[in-house]
Amino acid sequence: MKKLKKIPKFSSEEQERKFWVKEDSVNYIDWKNAKKASFPNLKPSTKTISLRLPESLFDDLKTLANKRDVPYQSLIKIILKDKIDRELRM
């Protein structure tokens, strides 16, 4: 059995990301003993953007969101996700 290297301590997520881009995890982790993990309360990272829309499109979006009883920002995410998923399946 191969001796595993010790995973270093990282001072930031960025430092850890850079480390794992260069390193192969099989040198540090015995994946045969790995167990499946579930993180039900983990929320994906978000990024704030600024988006300019024609007023008429924005009004239509707010009307549709009101009909669906969801915030318009959430409706934008739903519509974008749906469209992106369809495009990626092509």
Which DSSP string corresponds to 30-89? -GGG------TTPPPP---------HHHHHHHHHHHHHHTS-HHHHHHHHHHHHHHHHHH
Tens digit of each residue's pLDDT (9 = 90 or more) over 23-59: 999 999 999 989 999 888 888 888 999 999 999 999 9
Instruction: Say which CATH topology domain 50-90 has.
Output: Arc Repressor Mutant (1.10.1220)
pLDDT tens, 58-80?
A: 999 999 999 999 999 999 999 99
Instruction: Please tell me whether the overall predicted TM-score, pTM, comes out greater than 0.75 for this model.
Output: no
Domain ranges of the chain: 50-90
